[in-house]
Structures are given as structure tokens and as C-alpha cells.
Structure 1
């Protein structure tokens, strides 16, 4: 029996585990949409394709299973681009079905014709046309297998008229999901054991690639009396139930994490591709273990690079090394970590009810949210408050735009997560800039009955950009945002909406917001003068901020300077 290409594509993707497809219907994908309608795959209509790609990526990231999005020719498919980049960099197994104009019009500059392959090759693990009906199942299976096994986006490009073509579809092309385990060669493990034996102060820097090696890392840290520093992406996996955890490195990190790296004489980088070269130690020897050989030594020069899965590598290493008795390096890091956490708690206290600090909002959310809540956070300051003030307990999940660094990712990603986990609390920490960038999909939350809880940190500015300008000694320029009443807007769209302007109102409003049975938005007016302070404040940063102060005073903004100093340097 013959089947259309549209039927073959959706059948193959459904058999590969896909449950939902996000997008906007239209011309060149209408036959594909009809095949979706007749399948067990659910179609979720969004108001902007970028939101659809982010939602698909959010679902795929959290579930580890295939999720779909589909777009029409030209602008329809192109609107997916930023969301596809974000999802691909997160390692989310997404398949995008990107349609093109009918084949007789290709190469003639027909309206809406776009070379989709040139667009998407740089943000995918697989990108290919279905050029003949007999390729449909084979190409689709290859795309799904690449997305699932290489952890990224795969793109299938189909001309609109190709969807209606038929094929006998006799060969059973299917998706395979092998899960190999890799360890370094014995001689390389012996070299690593020798490096450890000669070191007095070892620090572990563990990343997303070590997300399944929590117990092995704890065992290694215990044997070496080594503090463990985790990257921001691995917080949820490696922070819980880990007595050796001392926080994060980099501008989003803390003193203990930075000190543990700076003061060691051997840094073991385990499954991390931490990008910021300036935060690696200058004097310590560095060993890197990663499953991807192309990652070895690309962020910082290393003395030894090993290719292997982190958990399996540690298990093979442990019998080869002697326990270290000296706890001074670990104790020093843990003592600083206690001070850092105390400082976070102090920053979360509110002394002026009329001036709500974003740290206080995040702290109250941490207290009131469910123990298995799933959080997303916009790029910018919301991701900082999420990473610093929300507790990872082993049940909570987090998705933050840490690799692509986009705006407006939080609540679209939360839409996909809520579709996959309707029984769990899914909370999006949104900046007011991010919220207004893709505000139209508030309607999707209502139409698709997605019970996402949106928390808007409303400071009337592009706050992270404002901070960047100020620490450069510049007057903050063009960062003002004239926002609507987000709570009233939410109610107009059919959502629960409430606004908070006084700290004393926050707990009650947050409880009503979290307890609402359906999508809900909480608009909190937070302090605009809050800087995201790095763990190490360099002299140049202080000088640049002081220069901003001089310029601001001369520009008639002395009240802002007083507020900036009070809230960030004098607390």
C-alpha cells in the first residue's frame, strides 16, 4: 500500500517517540498538518514560530525525547531560527520540518523561496532535503536518530508539493538509539593517577557532561578531599546531596567556587566546556575529561586530555589512586561557601517594603514553590537570581539560556515543558524585556490550556544591559522600557494576573499565583538599581562604576547614584 510523504514523515517521527508538534499552519505544510491531524501526534498552535521552537526545545530538553516543530515556506520557517539555535545549543532532540516552495518554482526567485539548508546547517546535527518520495522514511529516520543520539536539532526540508507524492514504502527504515560507554586507555588513566598523586590541592570542576555522574563525582571528591565546583548548567544535577559542592565559577558564580579553582594545584575538568578562559587558574595543572575529543583544550590549555564518559572514567580511576588525608584545601573552600550562602540570604532580606529587591522575590519563590517544580529563566538578570537563589534538591529541574544567551526564552520553553508535565509546577522567571519580546504567545497559554506560572521581574529596563553599560563607565542609554500593566494584560488574555508593588504583599500574591489552576502571571515591581555583582570585583570595575557615577551626577541623576551605591556596595 502506498502512503503520501506527509504520512510517512509523521508516522516515522511518531514511532521515534514524538508526541507534539509546534508551529503555525499554512500553505506549504497544509498536507503535513492534515497527516498530523490523523496521527497520534498533537499539534500545538503558537502565535510566533520562534516561541514554537523554544517550546519544542523546552519539552525535548526536559524529557530527552523527540519533539517536533513545523513551518511554512520562507518567513514561516525562518521565524523558527533563533528558537532553533537555542534548542540546538541546549542539546535538545528536536526535529524541524521546514517546507519550501513547490519544486517547479525552485531557483526562479519565487515569492517566499528560501534556501533552508544554508540557513539551518549551522544550527543542526542533520539538515537534508527529501528529494524523492522513496527517501521519505529513510531521511526522516536519519534525522530523528541524529537528533536523539547527537543531542541537537535535525532539519528535514520538504517542498510543499512533495508532501502529496506517494511511495510504496517497503523498506522498514527505523530509528536506533545506541548508548555506548567510553573510557580512556589504561595508559592514560595511569597518567591521570600520577597527576593526582603529585598534587597537594585538587579541585573538581564538573559540568553538564557529568550530569549522570553525581555519585561517582562525590566518591572521587571524598577520596581526594577535593572541593567540587559546578558550572551553571550542571547545578540541578551535581549540587544536591553533595557535601563537597562549593558553588559556581565565573561572573554568575561565588567566592568559594572561584577560590577553590584559583588556589588548587590540580584542576580536574570533568564533562565541562566552561567557556570563559579568564576564570581558569593561571598556575595549576589542568586535566580534562570529556566524551567529545574536539572539546579537549579548546577553552584553556590542558596538561592532559582524556576522552571518556565521566562516570565510567571515574570508576576506572578510583582503584588506581590513593586517598588524600589533608583536608585543609577542602575545609577552606567549604568555609567560604558557608559565607557565600549567608551573603545570599542577607541579600534576600527586605528592609524597605516599598523597594522590592529581585533577590528577595527569588528567595520567596524558592520557599513557596513545590519541591519538584521546574524553572525556566530569561537570559539577563532573571537567570542570575534563579541560579543564586533557587535551591536544587534533586527533584527540581532548571532550563536557562546559558549557551545561546537569548532574550524571551523563559516562558516559551515553559510552554513545552508544561505540555509534557501538566501535573508539575512549571515556573518561568521572566524579565520585562523578554516578556514583551514574545508577548503574543500569552494567548497560546490560554488557548492550549498550558498551566505555566509566569513571574515578571518588572524593573522598567533592560537591566543586564544597563549593568554592562555602567560597569564600562558609560551612561546607560536606551535601556528604558515603558511597560504595560502586565497583570491587567494577562487578565485580558484570559490568564490569572496580579501585580505587587510592596514587599508585604508578595507572599500572599505569590501563593494565589502558584495555587491558581491554570496559566497565571505575577507582575512584581522590583528595584531597578540592582547590579549583578560578580564574585570578584576588579579595581577596573569599581573605577568604571565610579566613572558612571560622575557622569550620572553631571547629567542630573544623583539620586540614582545614591541608590546604586546603597544597594550594591554599602549593603
Structure 2
């Protein structure tokens, strides 16, 4: 074949006679093969008329397991939890109309916490799109407020590019992506090729050396430094400890990052915000330099006015949001933190007075929460419940925490250990997160102990997924703090002198529901019963629910 020359410019393009290869796969097969190429292992979903063909193909293979959920919200929450826990793309599935609509709450949780979730939904036949046919809704408009990218697959040959865009964008930008597939396209063959996961997608983003040097100079000059760390430092937690000790810095964590710094360290000041500690508020108010490492959340009432704030994160969009910013550094924390920790001149300044102050404040705080955690009575104080859970879960446990009053008590009292993971609905804060999250966690890490902590108001949102756990034979433990109220809202209404309408609950027999769903149910009204039941539940071979009669104790600093 002769080389192409400029003289051939008027001829057809050099690839014009090359037809795009046919994959030989139907749309339903192509979807699964593309997900396999990206090492997807689970699809969480609910069956419906518009996804039957995809489920049929799922049933013909073993590489991807399908988890049949009771509700699409729970399916999306499972995918969100998997993505948060593993950092990989997770997938959920729904049918058209009500199915995709029900997914929105779970997808919003993933979107707000930047968890890469690909949502697949069936759609009505292409000829009926835009008509008044049953279960039709414009899914792209429906998902517009949540998904970073939502596309309707209008032709089988568009599928390869649309799937590649959705997978890459979701992973790199931490976004929810969504594809609607009309049900009449599933049996159509696809032109195009499977695109494997490419190594460059996880290539670290290196910060320039001069940026790291400037950051090191700021740290070296600080007299009262504080490190505020988030889950972004997970891969470099040991270097964070070295850096903190070299600087004599106080350390504050987000709730998911609690296991990433020794909770018994003399410089650990606990969490931030109402669910955090008084110690963190005191030390932040006295600090002259606060360095945020992989943390992106800062409640408005807890932003100090006097300190310079430096933020380091891979996501440039998150830097400076919600707080003043002295300097931002974009890059991979796995590269930046070790270099900072290795810088010898950081410890040159005498910070003896600050070290003593940090130790004094943190020691006083630890004495306070230890005293709170010893509280006893019937019903059981929530502080005692959290201390008991902390004492009995394994060092490698995954703890999924729901949203509610108990979340504040958990962050205040629970002493996390290295090797543990904490899953929460961070910014979306949906009720019903914990149980679906625990199911996903146990599927992903069957060798690890998994426990869900929920309130009586939140758990009912997704409680029937306990049957999903039983069907999957997952020995997870669900602890329900049963105080007969939406306690967080009730306490705030009380403080404001409001009518308490809507805040009281008449909880069902949670233990009986667990047994009816195929698991074990326990009840505890005293600290001794709690310890005994929790030990039994944690050693069982089936899902267990522990109904704990809990006192409705207001969290400190409650306000409307």
C-alpha cells in the first residue's frame, strides 16, 4: 500500500472505507461486557418492565452479581455506599417511570458526596418517547439536578461512546451519571468496541514542587497549627500522623475520617461542628494556621475568623468553598503529605506552649466524654450505646451510620480505630442510609464485620432491605436506637418553644420485623442487656437487628 500524500487530499478520507467494527453483542450484552471491563462486580436494582432484557442477560453470567432490592432508593444508596467505600464506580438499575423516580434520593446522596455511581434505567419504546404512554417521563429532565451527565440512548451504535463518557466522567469528577435505554433497543446489535479501564485514569495529579515548598514554609512559620483531615488522606494516614507530631499540631477530623488518626492521641481534638467536640472549637479559635487535608465540609457556625486557612485537595472545585482561603494547593495528597512530613525544618520552631495547650484541651475533652459514656439508666443513654458499640466492634469493622440525633452522639462519643471505615450520608443526610450501606459493604468485603447504626425514625425508610440482607445471607448487625421520636427535630423544636407536632413516633416491634424477614431480633432496655445482645448478634451467621430502648437525651448546643 502506497503512502498517502498531499495530492490525495481531494480523495475521500483515508478511513472512509473502514466500517466501524460490529461488536456482535446486543445492547443488553454490551452493557454488561463494558461494565465487566471496568471491574464492576455488583448491580443493585429493582425489576421492572423496561429492564427485563438486561436482567435476562445478567442471569446468564456470573461475573457481575445482581442484588434484588425492595426499593430503588435503597438500590441507589447501596451503589453510593459501595462507591464511597471502594473509590470505584458502582452501578444501580431501575425501570422507567416510578422506578427511575424512586432512585433519585439515593442518587442525590452519591452526588452530594462525590461518589461515582452509574445509574441505568429502562425507558419506554423509542416510538413512544414523548407521548402519554404509561410510565413515560423525560428522565433527563428528571435527573438534571443530580446527575453530572444524563443521556437517552436513541440508537444502539451510540451506546459505546455514551457508556465510555458516563464511566470516565463519573470516576474522574466524582459524579452521578445516568443512561436511559429504551426497552426496544436491548435486542439490537451494537457497532463499536468494549473500552477497558485505562491506567491513566488513576494517574496521580502531581503538585509543583514550588507549591509544596510554599506550603511547607507556611507550616514552618506557624506557631499554633491545626490539621483538619478528611477521608481524602486515607492512603497517607501514617504520614499525617508524622506531620502532626512534627508540628505539634492539633488534629480534627470529619466523621468518615475518624479512623484515619489515632483517637487516643494526645493531640486528637475530635470532630467538627455540633456533632464534634468542644475541644476542636476551642483550638480552632486559638490557631494561627489551619491546614485542610482532603476535607471539604465546614459548618458555617464553626469557621474561625482569625486563622489563615490552607486547603489541599485533588478537586480544585472544592477548594475554598464555605470558608476563607489563604492558599489552595491542588494535587494528590499521597504525593504532597509525605513530602511535608519529611521536611526537617517544620519542627525548628519552638511550639512547646502550643503542645502543652493542645494536650491540656484534648485531655480535658477526653475526660468529659469518658464520663458521659459511663452514664447509665433505663432507657439507655445514647452516649452509653455508642461507647458499647465502640468497645465491641472489631478493629477492621465497617460502621454505617444513619442520619439523625444518633449521628451527633456517634461522632461525639465513638472512638474509632485504625483499620475501621465509617460510612455516612454526608451532605445529603438522607434518612435510611445505614442499612443499604451496610449491605453493600458486606457484599464488597465479606470478611469484615459490618454494623449499621440507625434511629427509629430513619430506619423505617429502608427497613425492608433487611429482607434483602437475609436473602443474600449477610451477617450484618443493625442497631436501632429507639427513643420514640425524631429526636433531633424534637429537641430543636423544644429549644425554640415550638409545638412538637409530628416529632413523636410509635415505633413497631423492630425485633419481630427482623425475624419475619428471615433474620434474628434482639431487644435491650439496660446496659447489660445491650452488651449481651450485641455480643450474640456480632457472632451470628445471619443478619441481626438489635432494638435498643434509648433515652431521648438532647445533644449539647442544640438549636433551631
Give your verdict on TM over 0.5: yes
> For residues 125 and 276 of structure 1, do their structure 2 counterparts lie closer, same or farther at Cα, with a shift above 3 Å needed?
same
Q: Distance in 2 between matches of 1:79 and 1:330?
A: 51
Partner of residue 42, structure 1: 65
Partner of residue 419, structure 1: 443
2:503 aligned residue (452, 476, 479): 479
**Deviation (angstroms), 1:440:** 2.3
Q: Distance in 1 between matches of 2:343 and 2:541?
A: 53
Partner of residue 364, structure 1: 388
Q: Distance in 1 between matches of 2:289 and 2:169?
A: 36
Partner of residue 306, structure 1: 329
Q: Is the 8 A contact 1:454 1:521 kept in 2?
A: yes
Partner of residue 565, structure 1: none
Q: Is the 8 A contact 1:59 1:419 kept in 2?
A: no
**Deviation (angstroms), 1:148:** 2.9
Partner of residue 273, structure 1: 296
Cα deviations across residues 545-568 of structure 1 (Å, max 9, x unaligned)? xxxxxxxxxxxxxxxxxxxxxxxx
Structure 2 residue 309 is the aligned partner of structure 1 residue 286: yes
Q: Is the 8 A contact 1:269 1:288 kept in 2?
A: yes
Q: Distance in 2 between matches of 1:363 and 1:241?
A: 14
Larger CA deviation: 420-429 vs 68-77: 420-429
> For residues 188 and 21 of structure 1, do their structure 2 counterparts lie closer, same or farther at Cα, with a shift above 3 Å needed?
closer
Query: Match of 1:429, SS?
Result: strand
1:130 aligned residue (139, 149, 153): 153
Partner of residue 19, structure 1: 41
Cα deviations across residues 407-466 of structure 1 (Å, max 9, x unaligned)? 111111111112222232211101101111222222222222222211110000001111
Structure 2 residue 95 is the aligned partner of structure 1 residue 72: yes
Q: Distance in 2 between matches of 1:19 and 1:311?
A: 27
Query: Match of 1:44, SS?
Result: strand
Superposed structure 1 runs of 4+ greater than 6 Å apart: none
> For residues 193 and 509 of structure 1, do their structure 2 counterparts lie closer, same or farther at Cα, with a shift above 3 Å needed?
closer
1:497 aligned residue (499, 515, 521): 521
Partner of residue 62, structure 1: 85
Larger CA deviation: 40-49 vs 52-61: 52-61
> For residues 59 and 307 of structure 1, do their structure 2 counterparts lie closer, same or farther at Cα, with a shift above 3 Å needed?
closer
> For residues 327 and 476 of structure 1, do their structure 2 counterparts lie closer, same or farther at Cα, with a shift above 3 Å needed?
farther
**Deviation (angstroms), 1:243:** 5.3
Structure 2 residue 360 is the aligned partner of structure 1 residue 338: no
Structure 2 residue 162 is the aligned partner of structure 1 residue 120: no
Q: Distance in 1 between matches of 2:78 and 2:216?
A: 44
Structure 2 residue 112 is the aligned partner of structure 1 residue 89: yes
Larger CA deviation: 114-123 vs 402-411: 114-123
Cα deviations across residues 335-366 of structure 1 (Å, max 9, x unaligned)? 222222222221122443x3311111121121
**Deviation (angstroms), 1:120:** 2.1
Partner of residue 430, structure 1: 454
Partner of residue 560, structure 1: none
2:51 aligned residue (26, 29, 32): 29
1:8 aligned residue (14, 27, 30): 30
Q: Distance in 2 between matches of 1:97 and 1:488?
A: 35
> For residues 226 and 275 of structure 1, do their structure 2 counterparts lie closer, same or farther at Cα, with a shift above 3 Å needed?
closer
What are the ranges of 5 or more consecutive residues in structure 2 without an aligned counterpart? 1-22
Q: Distance in 2 between matches of 1:336 and 1:473?
A: 34
**Deviation (angstroms), 1:307:** 1.9
Q: Which structure 2 residues correspond to residues 84-483 of structure 1 after superposition, within 5 A?
A: 84-169=107-192, 171-177=193-199, 178-239=201-262, 244-317=267-340, 319=343, 321-323=345-347, 324-352=349-377, 354-483=378-507
> For residues 212 and 125 of structure 1, do their structure 2 counterparts lie closer, same or farther at Cα, with a shift above 3 Å needed?
farther
Partner of residue 52, structure 1: 75
Q: Distance in 2 between matches of 1:298 and 1:368?
A: 38
Query: Match of 1:228, SS?
Result: strand
Q: Distance in 2 between matches of 1:201 and 1:447?
A: 54
Q: Distance in 2 between matches of 1:503 and 1:447?
A: 31
**Deviation (angstroms), 1:242:** 5.4
Q: Distance in 2 between matches of 1:68 and 1:296?
A: 28
> For residues 463 and 10 of structure 1, do their structure 2 counterparts lie closer, same or farther at Cα, with a shift above 3 Å needed?
same
Q: Distance in 1 between matches of 2:445 and 2:299?
A: 34
Query: Match of 2:57, SS?
Result: helix
Tell me the C-alpha RMSD between the 2 structures.
2.2
**Deviation (angstroms), 1:194:** 4.3
Q: Is the 8 A contact 1:11 1:39 kept in 2?
A: no
Partner of residue 556, structure 1: none
> For residues 222 and 459 of structure 1, do their structure 2 counterparts lie closer, same or farther at Cα, with a shift above 3 Å needed?
same
Q: Distance in 1 between matches of 2:379 and 2:130?
A: 60
**Deviation (angstroms), 1:187:** 4.4
Q: Distance in 2 between matches of 1:213 and 1:359?
A: 31
> For residues 91 and 325 of structure 1, do their structure 2 counterparts lie closer, same or farther at Cα, with a shift above 3 Å needed?
same
Q: Distance in 2 between matches of 1:201 and 1:424?
A: 39
TM-score by length of 2: 0.90
